[in-house]
Amino acid sequence: MIDGDFTKVIKKLNAVNVLGATQFQQRVDRIWERLLEIVLFLRTGQHRTLAQILNAFIGSKVDNSRISRAEMVVLTHLFSFIRGLYAQPGVGASKLATDQPHFYTMVTSIHALGLIDKYGAGELRRKLIVLSRIIDAKTPPPKGMAKGRRNIN
């Protein structure tokens, strides 16, 4: 496991972290599973569970070609941004970084909604830092954002 942007980011997940240092192969497998979920989302725009991904591979219903140069550029840019985000105080230990559903939602939203281009890296980073504090209950949500309501702006 080379400590590049991909592994530095994905190793923060509890699903990977829970495995001890002696369970090296299992850690690598989980990192690849998480990365595969993201690659398939980038490729298809469809959300799938790990079971659905596995069933698709078994049934040859998924494009299992190598990652293209264009996909690699997108992944590299995305994970570089997230690694920089995690360097901000408290974010690397937040649920955005450690909880699989929060992480997956953040990554796929950043990509699908073009949030880096829409807000710029600095402004998006600021928004995600605030979001991580709200999710971790360190900061109250903004006025008008009652529990259960969602407003993405």
Residue 132 near residue 94, CB atoms below 8 Å: yes
- How far is 93 from 86, CA to CA, in rounded Å? 8
pLDDT of 28: 87
DSSP per position, 11-26: TTSHHHHTS-TT-HHH
Q: What angle do CA 6, 89, 101 make, to 5 degrees?
A: 50
In 3D, which of 12, 21, 20 has the Cα closest to residue 99?
A: 12
Task: Give 39-76 pLDDT, tens digit per residue.
Answer: 889 988 888 887 777 776 676 666 667 888 999 999 99
pTM for the structure as a whole: 0.83
What one-letter code names the amino acid at 97? A
pLDDT of 148: 59
pLDDT of 63: 61
31 has pLDDT over 90: no
Q: Which residue has the tokens 């920089």?
A: 84
Task: Give 115-150 pLDDT, tens digit per residue.
Answer: 999 999 999 999 999 999 999 999 998 887 756 555
User: What residue ranges do the domains of the chain occupy?
Assistant: 5-135
